[in-house]
Amino acid sequence: MGSIYEDIVEDINIARPTATKLVLKWTVRIAVALITVAFTYGQIKGTRTNRLADIESGLSENTKAIVEMRQEMKLSIGALNGKIDKVYDDGLKAFNDFQQYNDKKLGMIIDYGSKDKEMLKRMLEIMTLEKTKTVENGVQQAKITPATPVLLNRNDSISIVVKQIKNEK
């Protein structure tokens, strides 16, 4: 066995590489390492940039949706305020009609059972005017005081709650 090994090795001339070959070899190794590092860095940076682009596009879509929702809310709140004003006005008209009916009814009762009818009628009118003025002031105050919408985010749905702000005087 020893002779076969010697026969094979005998023909091979193993020589140390020259300095140029050694420098060339290390240059290629360093270049391959730098190319690998640059490629890896580029892949990581590209992935990060793509994620940021996705986040930016999602953010711009959400911003657009919020702006549209605000416009719709302004229109809806305006319509709601109009409906509330109509309810206040209709309620005030119904209250005034009731007061007039009540005045007539009480006036008829007074006519049947009182001696000083004029004084009682005037007292009734004064009390009715005071109550009417109180209700009118309350309605006007409610019209002046703005209703503020509050957005509550619950389970990816939006609820709008309208709260009345009370003015303390």
* Structural domain includes residue 68: yes
What is the four-CA torsion angle of 135, 138, 140, 146, rounded to 10 degrees?
A: -150
State the Cα–Cα distance between residues 160 and 137, nearest whole angstrom. Answer: 28
pTM of the predicted structure, to 2 decimals:
0.36
Q: Which domain holds residue 113?
A: 19-164
Q: What are the tokens at 54?
A: 């996705």
What is the number of domains present in the chain? 1
Is residue 11 situated within a structural domain?
Answer: no
Q: pLDDT tens for residues 121-138?
A: 777 777 777 777 777 777
pLDDT at position 156: 52
80 within domain boundaries: yes
What count of Cα atoms within 13 Å lies in the side-chain half-sphere of residue 117? 9
* Residue 99 forms part of a structural domain: yes
At 169, is the pLDDT very low, low, confident or very high (cuts 50, 70, 90)?
very low
d(CA 64, CA 68): 6
37 within domain boundaries: yes
In Å, what is the CA distance from 11 to each residue of 6, 7, 15, 16, 73? Answer: 9, 7, 12, 16, 93
Residue range 77-96: mean pLDDT, rounded: 82
In a domain, 6, yes or no: no
How many Å apart are CA 100 and CA 119, to the nearest integer? Answer: 18
Reply yes or no on whether the pLDDT at 95 is more than 70: yes
pLDDT at res. 34: 94
